[in-house]
Each structure stands twice: as C-alpha cells, then as structure tokens.
Chains A and B, each alone.
Chain A
Amino acid sequence: MRTVFKTSYDTDIDLHEHWFRRGRYLALLVFMMSLPFWADEYFLAEATNTLIWSLAGMGLMVLVGHTGQPSLGHAAFLSIGAYTDVALMNAGVPFLVSFPIAGIFAGVVGAIVAIPAVRMSGIYLAIATLALFVIVEEIVILLEPITGGVGGLFAPAIEIFGIPFERYAYLGNFYWLVLAVVVIICWGYANLMRSPTGRSFLAVRDSEVSARALGINVTRTRALAFGLSAGVTGLAGALMGHFIGFFNYELFSIFISINLLLVVTIGGLGFIQGAFLGAVLITAVPQVIAILRDGLNATAGIDLGAIPGLDTIIFSLLLIVFIIYEPQGLYGRWLKIRTWFEIFPLARRDMFRRQKSYLKTERSK
C-alpha cells in the first residue's frame, strides 16, 4: 500500500496526489496516442467510436452523476451539435470555428431549456427532457434546407490548416483529433470538479436545502450543469456526425439517449472515469456479440444472429445487475478491487457495506 505523506495543501488541490498515479494516466495517454501506428483500421475506427461515446458520456455524467438530474433527451443535444457543425461547414465556416460554435450552441440551447426544466426533478425532469428530444427531432425534419430533412446529409471533410482529418482516408488523423478533444474536455471536467463550481454541483445533488443555506443559487447551478452537459454532448454529436459521414435524424434516436444513460450508470455515477469505462462497455458488447456469433456459427452451429436485439437484452441485464449489486458501477467496483489488493490481506467483507447507497438521481423522488 502506498501512503502519500502530504506536506502541502497543493497535494489535495492537484489532480493526482503523487507521480505514480499521474504517470499511469500519462502512460495511458501515450498508449492511446500510439494506436494509429500499429492498430488496424477496424480497431482504430472502434477506438474512435468509443472515444466519441466517452465524450458524450462525460457530457451526461456532469448532469446525472454530478448534479443529480436525469435526462432522457441527450440525443437531442448530439443532434443539435452535429447539425450545427455540418450546417456551418456547408456555409463555408472552417471546422476549427464551426466545431466550438456547435458545442456552444448546443450548450446555450441546453441552458435555455434548463431554466424552466430544472425546477422539476426526478421523473418529471426525465419526461420533460424526453419531450425536448421529440421536439428537436421534429424540428430537424422540418428544417429540410439545412438538415436535409428525412433524406439526411453528408458531413463535409475536415481540414485544419491544410491538414486533412477526413474520416476514411485519414482515419489516424481523425482519431487524434477526437483524442485531443476528449483529453481537453476531460482535463476541464476534472478541473471543474476540484473547484467551487464542481462542489456546488455536488451540493445541489446531495442536499438542495443545505445548498441554499450555503448561498448556492440552486436554479442557476442546475442550469449551468445542464448547459455544460448539453455543450459537451453537442461536441460529441458533431464528431459523431463526421465519424458516421452520412446521417439523418435517425442516427440520434431515443436509443442513443438510453445507451448514454447506460454508459454513465454502468460506468459509475459520479466518476469521470465511469464515462470511459461505460463507453468501452457499450461499444465493445455489440462487437463481442458479432465475434461470438461468427465463432459459434462456424464451430457449434448456434446462430446468435437469429436472436434479434441480443445486445439490448445483455445491456438490460447488465443494468439490472449493476443497480442491484453495484450502484457505483464499473469504476466503483474497480475501486473496491484495488483497495482489496492494496490492503491485502486486511480486507473485510463488510468494509464497503456502509457506502452502498444510491445517489439521489437514481431514487427519482
């Protein structure tokens, strides 16, 4: 077990409390950066997809995991981000400008919607966000000149300072672009969570009445969280549009919203790392099923392809299992396993019993 001897308040303020931990994240980053040099195209595309899902997952995590507000409508913000970005690029705006504007626009829409919506909580807010999703979907279909309506539209190729980031011909470049966005957002997110803003989110999540007593403007805080969440999700939507290449409103279906909720819940509510673990799971399961299907078909003659919606069934079962046995998700489980090894052989069965509690989001008052 590693004991950190704290000699300055900065040890607690820093993102990582010692160089070993910082080094592990750096090693992971270097590994991720090296991917295009050795991974094949299929794997690289999957990794890109996972990163985009992680980005969207971080967007939803701020809201659900850290501020305690559920949303069933986050596909709407993905869609707003994707269409804004493509519309601006089609109008001749370079990606470097259109991309942040897409995020900001999605964020502003989110914050505006939030002002009336955040007065609701639990199931009512979930329904309100679902309604928002339906409205956005209809607007996308109606705004045919910009969005291509039902027919859909092509995402133009990205080029920054003459360097091509086109998704098919230059997948490696596109992957690095996505990775850079994810790293920057993740860094900003982690910074928020160690500063007064992040603490006010947690305060609003855990006890509104005492948040008010501390002078926190609950409505404004929840609207800010909603706006930031929508903004980051919008960025993910823009990248998703470029990744898919050709898309229409069906890309951003209600199932995307639900899968995003799975990402944050199974990943671990209240942990940034949870968004990544959840994204890996949600993108890996369909691939594993595909591999299993081919394998079982060839060797045992079992045809998994004959079972429609197998991945949905697996996700649902996983969700139920996690909510009952591990409400803190994959990351919470990992923390416990790590602690078990760190203090081996001193771990006791009931060590984490008192910590098994649900966040307010999940209770949906």
Chain B
Amino acid sequence: MSLLEVDDIAVHFGGVKAVDGVSFRVEEGEVYAIIGPNGAGKSTIFNLISRIYELTRGRIMFDGHDVTKLGAHQVAPLGIARTFQNIELFDHSTVLANLLMGRHLHRRTNFIQDALFLPKVRAEERAHRQRVEEVIAFLELEAYRGKMIAGLPYGVRKVVEIGRALAMGSKLILLDEPASGLSVEESQEVAYWIEDMRRDMGLTVLMVEHDMSLVSQVSDRVLAVANGRMLAEGTPAEVQAHPEVKAAYLGTEVAA
C-alpha cells in the first residue's frame, strides 16, 4: 500500500474543471514532484489533499485513512504537513512562536492547565522548544529566532514556513513551490534540505515546483499536469522528454 493514494480526483468550479481525473501514488520515503504550466491545477491538488476545497469526484487515501471524509483541521493529525505558495505565516509573531505553533498537534494540555501554567505545561513547552531548536539548527534560522515575521525578507519567510511544517513532525510534507522567488543559491539550499528531509528525517515529500533544475535534482518521480489533466508520469528525464509535456510548456509546432 502506498503512503498517499490519489484516485481519479476532480474539482469543478462552475464550468471550470480545475482538476479533472488526476490519479497518482506516493510511496513512503519518496520525493514526488508535480509540475505543469501556470493554472494547471497543481496547487489545487494540494488544496484538495488539505481539504480546503471539496472534491467533486474521487478519493484520497493517506496511510489507510480516507482524507476526503475529514475536516481541514483533521488532516494534519494524520501526519500531513504543508507549506503555501503565497506564504501563510503568522505575521505578528516571532519566528520562534511560528515554529512553536507547528507543534500544536502535539499539545497535551487544555486551556485551564495553560492558564494556571502548571508544571506539566512548562515541561511540555521545554519539549516543544527542544524539537523546534532541532528544526532551527537544521534550517540555520538561529539569527532570526526572536524576529517578527512582518519584518523578515521573503527568502527567510519561505524557510520559516518550511520550518513550521517540519516542526509538526509529520510523515508527509507538501511543499508548494518551495523555490519560487528564491535566488539560485537559496534554491540550491532548498534542494539539499529536501534530500536531508528524506534521508535523515525519513520524510516523504510531495512538492509542486516550477524550477526544473530543482525538480530533476531531488525528485524520484514527476507528474506533469496541464489544464487539470495528467500528461505524463515518470522519472524527471522521462517526463521532460515527453512530447505532450513539451507541447504544454512550449506550444505545438505548426505544420508548415
């Protein structure tokens, strides 16, 4: 059984078929990339997995659970973390607080215990901080710990968002364009991180990305989509060489 099984999913907004009949399987420990031109429905697939949109058709299974029956806040406890294309951080909090919010799943105290700040709450806080510090060390965010998100440069925010997803301690991490808007050096760093996530943390990575050099560097398998439909699936080289993928990106040749 695969970790994530997406079966023939579709979502229609009125007459627009944003995603139409997409199926794929992500195996445990794999880096799986979804590519496609703008408006192909890549981010929509993510939003379907994290239950922001309602499926018109199809089924998504994760680790033996039917995701499609859950509410948006019930997806994370299964072990799915995600980042957003347009960075959805908590702007009026510090980097540290944002990362600690990633630990919300693992809270064991209720609001009354929190208000009294019982010794148990302190012990939990220390444990969360320990985990968050590991993430900070991994992503080299030490210099930004106490900084407010609102004042941070774009590249750092992008990294903080990856950090928040990592702090959740999930099995599967969905990265929505992790390298968009980053410099060549920064996206190279993202590539190393993704490799480390898989190798050292045992994470499965599903990502949407435009940067083909990043995709071919880190991913095991690639799915190409266009206009909500699947074009090709295979290794990065296979997909890049696929005639339909070329056509979707570059347009078809007009017969002379």
State A354–B82 Cα separation when bound (angstroms): 27
A216–B115 touching, CB < 8 Å: no
From A6-14, A274-282, A284-292, A301-309, give the one contacting chain B: A6-14
Cross-chain contact of B93 among A197, A202, A357 (Cβ < 8 A) = A202
B93–A12 touching, CB < 8 Å: no
State A195–B107 Cα separation when bound (angstroms): 10
**Residue A80 CB within 8 A of the other chain:** no
A195–B92 touching, CB < 8 Å: no
B168–A214 touching, CB < 8 Å: yes
A215–B151 touching, CB < 8 Å: no
| Residues of A contacting B103 in the complex (Cβ-Cβ under 8 angstroms) | 196
**Residue B148 CB within 8 A of the other chain:** yes
Q: Name 10 A/B residue pairs within 8 A (Cβ), A-sorted.
A: A10-B126, A12-B96, A189-B115, A195-B115, A195-B125, A196-B109, A200-B101, A213-B88, A224-B111, A355-B148
| Residues of B contacting A205 in the complex (Cβ-Cβ under 8 angstroms) | 90, 92
Whether A354 contacts B150 in the complex (CB less than 8 A), given A13-B126, A200-B101, A215-B104, comes out as yes
A200–B73 touching, CB < 8 Å: no
Chain B interface residues (CB < 8 Å from chain A) = 50-52, 71-77, 81-82, 84, 88-93, 96-97, 100-105, 107, 109-111, 114-117, 121-122, 124-126, 129-130, 133, 148, 150-151, 164, 168
Nearest B residue to A14, CB-CB = B122
State A209–B51 Cα separation when bound (angstroms): 10
Q: Which 10 A-B pairs have the closest CB atoms?
A: A215-B76, A195-B114, A210-B88, A206-B90, A191-B117, A212-B72, A196-B107, A188-B115, A197-B114, A197-B111
Chain B: minimal CB distance from A197 (Å): 4
Q: Per-residue CB proximity of A198-238 to B under 8 Å, as 1/0?
A: 11101101110111111111100000100010000000000
| Residues of B contacting A189 in the complex (Cβ-Cβ under 8 angstroms) | 115
| Residues of B contacting A215 in the complex (Cβ-Cβ under 8 angstroms) | 73-77, 104-105, 168
State A279–B117 Cα separation when bound (angstroms): 26
A206–B115 touching, CB < 8 Å: no
A210–B114 touching, CB < 8 Å: no
A192–B84 touching, CB < 8 Å: no
| Residues of B contacting A10 in the complex (Cβ-Cβ under 8 angstroms) | 122, 126
State A217–B51 Cα separation when bound (angstroms): 13
**Residue A57 CB within 8 A of the other chain:** no
State A89–B112 Cα separation when bound (angstroms): 26
Whether A359 contacts B92 in the complex (CB less than 8 A), given A202-B97, A203-B101, comes out as yes
Chain B: minimal CB distance from A7 (Å): 14
State A198–B51 Cα separation when bound (angstroms): 25
Nearest A residue to B110, CB-CB = A197
State A250–B219 Cα separation when bound (angstroms): 68
State A202–B100 Cα separation when bound (angstroms): 12
Nearest B residue to A193, CB-CB = B114
**Residue A18 CB within 8 A of the other chain:** no
A270–B92 touching, CB < 8 Å: yes
State A210–B129 Cα separation when bound (angstroms): 20
**Residue A194 CB within 8 A of the other chain:** yes
| Residues of A contacting B101 in the complex (Cβ-Cβ under 8 angstroms) | 199-200, 202-203, 211, 214
* Interface secondary structure of A, over-half rule: helix
State A218–B84 Cα separation when bound (angstroms): 18
Nearest A residue to B117, CB-CB = A191
Cross-chain contact of A9 among B71, B75, B84, B129 (Cβ < 8 A) = B129
A357–B76 touching, CB < 8 Å: no
State A310–B124 Cα separation when bound (angstroms): 52
B126–A203 touching, CB < 8 Å: no
B92–A192 touching, CB < 8 Å: no
B104–A203 touching, CB < 8 Å: yes
State A117–B136 Cα separation when bound (angstroms): 38
Whether A214 contacts B150 in the complex (CB less than 8 A), given A188-B115, A191-B117, comes out as no
State A202–B175 Cα separation when bound (angstroms): 23
State A218–B100 Cα separation when bound (angstroms): 17
Q: Which of A198, A213, A214, A270 has the most CB of B within 10 A?
A: A213
Cross-chain contact of A214 among B91, B110, B164 (Cβ < 8 A) = B164
Cross-chain contact of B90 among A195, A203, A212 (Cβ < 8 A) = A203
State A209–B47 Cα separation when bound (angstroms): 10
Cross-chain contact of A209 among B75, B84, B130 (Cβ < 8 A) = B84
Nearest A residue to B91, CB-CB = A206
| Residues of B contacting A200 in the complex (Cβ-Cβ under 8 angstroms) | 101, 104
Known: A196-B104, A202-B101, A212-B76. 9 other contacts (CB 8 A): A10-B122, A12-B129, A192-B114, A197-B114, A199-B93, A207-B88, A207-B90, A209-B84, A211-B101
Cross-chain contact of B151 among A192, A224, A228, A355 (Cβ < 8 A) = A355
| Residues of B contacting A188 in the complex (Cβ-Cβ under 8 angstroms) | 115-116
Q: Quick one: which of A147-192 are within 8 Å of B by CB?
A: 188-189, 191-192
| Residues of A contacting B121 in the complex (Cβ-Cβ under 8 angstroms) | 191, 195
State A212–B77 Cα separation when bound (angstroms): 11
Nearest B residue to A356, CB-CB = B150
| Residues of B contacting A206 in the complex (Cβ-Cβ under 8 angstroms) | 89-93
Chain B: minimal CB distance from A341 (Å): 20
